[in-house]
Structures are given as structure tokens and as C-alpha cells.
């Protein structure tokens, strides 16, 4: 049999080992939790940084916050943001196009007429009245525009074989080249801006815009205008 002192010593040693083992377990658990929390913080940081990069605020965000629009009835801020951004992009694309056309010696109005003739297909001609209707101009304004284009050698007037009083307008080779060159340059500028989107994002954006356009066309009915 063991003496009292020996039993006490063994008991103390056992307790010491138990406490040491328990301490190691707790330390291991704490380190694991700490590592997990650290990983979570790093993951959260990455998510926050990514969100900040992809959700950078533009001038529309700032305007919606400072324009005191809350009292406008039926106003949906999400819809307002969509409309304002589409309008803003349209204006910017139009300014870019006008600048590009100017570099090619054309105004937007002249380019519009040449485009209407080019899209008619061979022999690339339309009546003056049809051109005025397509470009939403009065006959007098169209006459002035055609005068400038004819003087520059970009279009020519021809008698209408089906209407003795009518006139056909035909794009010349020089006019066709001017339109194609300027249209190609404008397309290059547009592609440069659109490069901010991936191919998949462009496809998705086109799909969403198409749905909005179709809704407008349904609401407008047969009288829906192409522009």
C-alpha cells in the first residue's frame, strides 16, 4: 500500500497533468478561433475593397442625394438613376460623335442625311420628301441641307422617273466614303468607351435595354418612332 504522502504526491501530479492538458486544448482552440477570425476579417476586407471598386459613385449618385427630390410624388430613385444615366450617356455619345464628324469635315445633320441614303441600299437614293420625313425636317430645311451636301460633291439630285415634279437624291462615291470613314471612326470611339464592360456585361446590358425599348414600342403602338 502507498503511504499518505505518496498518494498525495500522485494526486497532485495527476491534477497538474490534467490542468496542463486542458490548458493546451484551450490554447489550441483559441489559436484556431483567432486564425478563423483573422481569415474572416481578410475576406471581409477583400469584399469591401472589391465592392468599392465596382460600385464607385458617379455624379448621378451625388445629384440624387443632394437634389431634394423626396417630395416628388411617385418618384422611384432607382428608376431616376437609370433614366438620368441613359440621358447623360446619350448626350456624351452625341458630343463624341459630333467631335469625330467635325474631324472628317461633316456636321451631324449632314452625316444624318448621308446615313439615310446609305441605309437605303443600292442605288442609295431616296426622294427629298422621304429624307425630310426620316430626319424630321421641314422641306425647306431639307432643301438647305441638300444644297450644302451637293455643293460639297457628297450627293446629287436626279429627276424622279415616276414623278415629273419630284426629285431623287443619291449619295455620290465621295459621299459614301465620307460617311463610311466617319462612321468607322465614331464606332472606334464608342468601342473605347464601352471597353469598360466585359463581353458578358455588354450582352446583359443590351438585353436589359432591349426590354425597355420593347416596352416603349408596345406602349406607343404602331406609331412608335424608330429613334
pLDDT tens-digit readout, 118-136: 999 999 999 998 999 888 8
3-state SS, residue 221: helix
| Mean pLDDT within 176-181 | 96
Phi/psi of residue 125, nearest 5 degrees: -145, 150
What is the C-alpha to C-alpha distance for residues 127 and 170, in angstroms, rounded to an integer?
9
Range list of H helices, the chain: 4-54, 59-66, 77-103, 108-118, 128-134, 139-151, 173-194, 199-220
Please, which residues have CB within 8 angstroms of residue 186's CB and are 6 or more apart in sequence? 96, 97, 100, 101
Note the pTM of the prediction, 2 decimals.
Answer: 0.66
State what percent of residues in the chain have pLDDT above 70. 74
Please, are residues 182 and 112 in contact by the beta-carbon 8 Å criterion? no
What pLDDT is attached to residue 36?
A: 39
Q: How confident is the model at residue 178 (pLDDT cuts 50, 70, 90)?
A: very high
Look at residue 77 in the predicted model and tell me its pLDDT: 83
pLDDT in tens, 15-49: 455 444 545 544 444 444 434 343 443 333 333 33
DSSP three-state, residue 195: coil
Whether the Cβ atoms of residue 126 and residue 161 lie closer than 8 Å to each other? no
Percent share of the chain, pLDDT over 90: 48
For residues 227 and 225, what is the distance between their CA atoms, to the nearest angstrom? 6
Amino acid at each position: 500500500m502507498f503511504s499518505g504522502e505518496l498518494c498525495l504526491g500522485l494526486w497532485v501530479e495527476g491534477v497538474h497533468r490534467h490542468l496542463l492538458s486542458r490548458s493546451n486544448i484551450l490554447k489550441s482552440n483559441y489559436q484556431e478561433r483567432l486564425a478563423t477570425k483573422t481569415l474572416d476579417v481578410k475576406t471581409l476586407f477583400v469584399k469591401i475593397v472589391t465592392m468599392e471598386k465596382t460600385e464607385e459613385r458617379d455624379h448621378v449618385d451625388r445629384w440624387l442625394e443632394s437634389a431634394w427630390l423626396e417630395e416628388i410624388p411617385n418618384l422611384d430613385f432607382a428608376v431616376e438613376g437609370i433614366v438620368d444615366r441613359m440621358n447623360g450617356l446619350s448626350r456624351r455619345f452625341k458630343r463624341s460623335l459630333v467631335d469625330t464628324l467635325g474631324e472628317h469635315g461633316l456636321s451631324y445633320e449632314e452625316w444624318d442625311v448621308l446615313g439615310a441614303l446609305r441605309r437605303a441600299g443600292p442605288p442609295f437614293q431616296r426622294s427629298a420628301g422621304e429624307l425630310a420625313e426620316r430626319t424630321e425636317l421641314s422641306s425647306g430645311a431639307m432643301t438647305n441641307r441638300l444644297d450644302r451636301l451637293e455643293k460639297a460633291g457628297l450627293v446629287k439630285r436626279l429627276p424622279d422617273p415616276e414623278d415629273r415634279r419630284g426629285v431623287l437624291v443619291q449619295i455620290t462615291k465621295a459621299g459614301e466614303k465620307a460617311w463610311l470613314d466617319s462612321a468607322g471612326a465614331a464606332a472606334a470611339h464608342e468601342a473605347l468607351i464601352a471597353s469598360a464592360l466585359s463581353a458578358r456585361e455588354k450582352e446583359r446590358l443590351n438585353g436589359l435595354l432591349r426590354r425597355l425599348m420593347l416596352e416603349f414600342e408596345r406602349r406607343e403602338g404602331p406609331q412608335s418612332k424608330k429613334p
